[in-house]
Structure 1
Amino acid sequence: MSPNQVATALDGAIAYVSQGLDSGSGWGRYSDWGITAVYEESSGLVAVAIDAMDGPLVRLRDIELIARVPSEVSSDIHALAHREGASVRVNWSGDPEVTAWGVSMGAMLKLGPSPEWDRQDTMITDALFVVAELAEDPYGAAPVIQWRDVREEAPNAGTWPVRAEQDRLRWDWSPLESIGPLRYGMSPDQVAAALNEEPAARHGRYPFGRPWEGPGEWILREDRFDTTGVTAHYASGRGTYPLLGAVTVQGRTGPQVEHEGIRLIGLPISMVDAALIQYIEERDLGLVIGCGGDRGLEDLNMYVRATRAGDAAISEARFCRKDWEDHG
């Protein structure tokens, strides 16, 4: 199906967010339907992603796949695959993927119905469905990468161990200046030395080749330190050396950080949200909502984020220097 045919099949739906549809190759997000359609120039529609919150409920045989507890759907998929002789593997997000059916499962945070989209403490399932030609590696296929590139995501083996509170480091936070042993403005070498750890993964980019940047060498964007449980984010660009601009303390494994007695890391996300809102209301402060619904305190450039721990959602946080613009 072409983009026009898909729009007709969806009662004239409009892709409010899209890329490359005019060329016949790209993707379109049909928000009113809760789906994203991915197209390949020669083949038309090749993949459909179903949103957990807004998408239609999809049934495979007798299994409801969408908006359910991930572990329950995984159990049902394994049982059906066993009956039909299909092979189930784990995809990049730690969820089941079945080549024979062209389905790759995923999960997203469940949100409440309030205008502020209250964050719940549970994950619910979404899914990507692809044509047979892409089923061997759905998220590695070029058309899907145009829509969602997960190649820099830390692969998950399907387990989400959470470090116990008593086993976590304790870090102090000086807003806009430092977090634990890390001070904003450090070089990557200084960050690694302060943590006494080499990065488990490094991510970056090449310059875009635009007039204000031009071609050049690879630019470091972030380092992930798995033992400590943090990610260092660097401000960098063509002709400038990367310097520490923000630190994400990972929810499952990172150090515990407190603000005014509020524990920020590794707790049910609704608990941290409620504590922050109470703190703000009692002091008549401002609440900042960042990309993806992250909650922050006005003028502190800190955002509490939700991360997955199996079927649950727990808190992590990103701590930024004053001039850092966080984009999720």
Structure 2
Amino acid sequence: MNEGKQRVGSGAGETATEPVRPVWVLTPLESVGPLRFGMFADEVRAALPEAVELSRFSAEPFYPEIYGLQLGFHPAVPAVYAYFESTGRLFCVAADAAHGPRVTLEGLELTGRVPAVLQETVLDLHSSGTHHVSYGPRGNPGINEVGMVLRVQDTVDGLLTRPVLVGREWAAHCTDDWEGSIPECEWLGRQWSVYNGSDVYPPPGYATNWPAGWTAPF
């Protein structure tokens, strides 16, 4: 194996030619890796000097003041999505399933895992009484008291997990895609389970009520 490369692990989703990704420890409701919830955009950029800002986009169709930054450790390769509320504070972070940092919670790796494998492990946390796992209306699992939702993402290695994380002020009902604070764009695309006959949202032929001019950024 070449230095700086790693092969596919058990459900981890790495490829044989992918550079080793940074490991970010989740401190629930406070921080993930070098990013602390409540930071401003300039502080986020300073905390990730090795990252390239790939784009800035509107994250919510009905709240244009909420925006996201797409960041990558390599040009044109998204790795981290940082979301800012109307006051400019960081409130949500998502790790790209294929290229994002390897986010861990109590030693459990959350990024780029096979959904069924990770779900079984997360449910073990629930059964042990450590955390309470709940499911949103579209079947995405998460833990409100940790500020975590697990989403899925299509990658060249198949469907893998994408952790979406929020800070303390935004954690209430975060697993609920209707009432929680996680941006609308993070709920789109492939779903953890089939919802109303489709594993994609919006499903084919579904007419959204998004304002004219807003489109999903990715």
- Interval containing the TM-score (normalised by the shorter chain): 0.5 to 0.7
Structure 2 distance, partners of 1:275, 1:195, is 30
Q: Residue 38 of structure 2 corresponds to which residue in structure 1? A: 185
Deviation per CA, 1:199-255: give whole Å up to 9, x if none: 2010127996xxxx9xxxx7351000022711001111xxxx311001001110011
Picking from 60, 68, 81, the partner of 1:222 is 68
User: Does the alignment pair 1:271 with 2:117?
Assistant: yes
User: Does the alignment pair 1:169 with 2:22?
Assistant: yes
C-alpha change, 1:164 and 1:288, in structure 2 (3 Å) is farther
Structure 2 distance, partners of 1:207, 1:277, is 33
C-alpha change, 1:205 and 1:231, in structure 2 (3 Å) is closer
Picking from 291, 297, 315, the partner of 2:143 is 297
- Checking the alignment, whether the CA contact within 8 Å between 1:175 and 1:300 is kept in structure 2 is yes
Q: Residue 233 of structure 1 corresponds to which residue in structure 2? A: 83
Q: Residue 100 of structure 2 corresponds to which residue in structure 1? A: 254
Structure 1 distance, partners of 2:113, 2:69, is 24
- Report the secondary structure of 1:171's partner residue: strand
User: Does the alignment pair 1:203 with 2:57?
Assistant: yes
Structure 1: 5+ residue runs without aligned partners?
Answer: 1-120, 122-159
Q: Residue 114 of structure 1 corresponds to which residue in structure 2? A: none
Q: How far 1:259 moved relative to its partner?
A: 1.5
Structure 2 distance, partners of 1:232, 1:184, is 10
User: Does the alignment pair 1:194 with 2:47?
Assistant: yes
Structure 2 distance, partners of 1:205, 1:287, is 26
% identical equivalent positions: 25
- Report the secondary structure of 1:293's partner residue: coil
Structure 2 distance, partners of 1:293, 1:219, is 28
Which residue type is aligned with residue 322 of structure 1? R
TM-score (norm 1): 0.43
Deviation per CA, 1:88-120: give whole Å up to 9, x if none: xxxxxxxxxxxxxxxxxxxxxxxxxxxxxxxxx
TM-score (norm 2): 0.63
- Report the secondary structure of 1:323's partner residue: helix
Which residue type is aligned with residue 32 of structure 2? I
- Checking the alignment, whether the CA contact within 8 Å between 2:52 and 2:72 is kept in structure 1 is no
- Checking the alignment, whether the CA contact within 8 Å between 1:303 and 1:317 is kept in structure 2 is yes
Structure 2 distance, partners of 1:280, 1:252, is 26
- Report the secondary structure of 1:172's partner residue: strand
Q: How far 1:261 moved relative to its partner?
A: 2.5
**Structure with greater helix share of residues:** 1
Deviation per CA, 1:172-223: give whole Å up to 9, x if none: 1111111111111111111112111342010127996xxxx9xxxx735100
C-alpha change, 1:167 and 1:219, in structure 2 (3 Å) is same
Superposition pairs of residues 31-70 of structure 1, within 5 angstroms: none
- Checking the alignment, whether the CA contact within 8 Å between 2:148 and 2:163 is kept in structure 1 is yes
Runs of 4+ that moved beyond 6 A: 163-166, 205-208
Q: Which has the larger radius of gyration?
A: 1
